[in-house]
Structure 1
Amino acid sequence: MPTYVAFLRAVNVGGTGKLPMADLRAMCESVGLTNVRTYIASGNVVFQSRLSEASVKAKLERCLEDYAGKPVGVLVRTGAELAAVLEGNPFKAQAANRTVAIFLDGPPPADTLVAMSGRQEEEVALGAREIYVHYGDGMAHSKLKIPAAKTGTARNMNTVATLVAWAAQ
């Protein structure tokens, strides 16, 4: 049975989107996902399902909207796809906690790099369905705006590495 990883947008970040991980696990199980595990409180879920990626995404988004009363974006990858994201990180020599993958539903638009604004010391590269960013001075001081990332969600490489390991178990 395929193993998937789901990333929820704007959950338990900056005091918004409160969602206890026990509730998230219960929601996942209620739509038929099995072997559900959550990692840290920012909306990372590893599970197994015979459903397609699109079906998993749709079921989770409906369930989360019912819970939150508003849409909650969900980005889904197979365990193998997530391993490829980690392997494809072009900034492996940089600090993993300052390098993120911004997960998207589809390939980054062709104009992603030229449409950015506020870029300072950040390094940016495009992946298959993600945008990699290395924040040399840390995210807290960055003014970088990436319009293509508006509906995506970012995870640092430490989190990605842990989720890849969990998905491989």
Structure 2
Amino acid sequence: MKTYIALFRGINVGGNNTLPMKDLAAVLEGLGLQGVATYIQSGNVVFQGKAVDPALLSKKIAAAIGKSHGFEPWVRLLEMPMLEAVIRGNPYPEAEDAPGTLYVNFLARVPPQPDLDGLEKRRAASERFQLAGDVLYLHAPDGIGRSKLASALEQLLGVPVTSRNWNTVRKLGEMARAA
């Protein structure tokens, strides 16, 4: 059995795509996944399952939610080694003391033609970012809600993105290690 971390984009946000975590857990268990544990209402799940292609399992999960709840969310599925690499690869360890200012943006894939100049132009003077394959780290000390860069990531990278703050990333790592 492998440990997986599922990051759902756009569920339970602003009253849209409502999916209670107990329902989400039931859908995953219905797919034969085990040890399903959710974290906060925005769609973070740790579970175990047979070794399969993560992209295929993501589609299977989205389709099962579509069947049960009428919408198919985008799901970024990570294997445990990838999450560990993301945690170890944090280029801004000094920002961990203020984890609400540090975000990991998980991309659907490595962007084929990211607009790095556009990212740099949108970056506030206090912000820092680093693109590392299919992950973009963003340190926004003035808050993510004020960040023009954060609001334009998907457009400038050209791929779907789902973001998690450092507290959530750390907690998911703890949950996955304990699974």
TM-score, normalization by structure 2 = 0.87
Aligned 8 A contact 1:108 1:131 in 2: no
Q: State the shift of 1:73 in Å.
A: 0.2
- List alignment gaps of at least 5 residues for structure 1: none
Partners of 1:9 and 1:153 within 8 A in 2? yes
Whichever residue aligns with residue 30 of structure 1, its letter is G
Q: 1:113 aligns with which of 112, 116, 119?
A: 116
TM-score by length of 1: 0.92
| Amino acid across the alignment from 2:90 | N
Mapped to 1, the partners of 2:134 and 2:114 lie a distance apart of 14
Taking the TM superposition and a 5 Å limit, the aligned residue runs for 1:1-169 are: 1-50=1-50, 51-94=52-95, 95-116=98-119, 118-120=122-124, 121-144=126-149, 145-146=152-153, 147=155, 148=157, 151-169=160-178
Q: What is the percentage of aligned positions where both structures have the same residue?
A: 37
- Retained in 1: the 8 A contact 2:105–2:161? yes
Distance 2:32 2:2 in 1: 13
Letter in 1 for 2:79: T
Q: Can you give the 5+ residue segments of structure 2 that lack an aligned partner in the other structure? A: none
Shift of 1:150: 5.4
Taking the aligned partners of 2:132 and 2:39, their CA distance within structure 1 comes to: 24
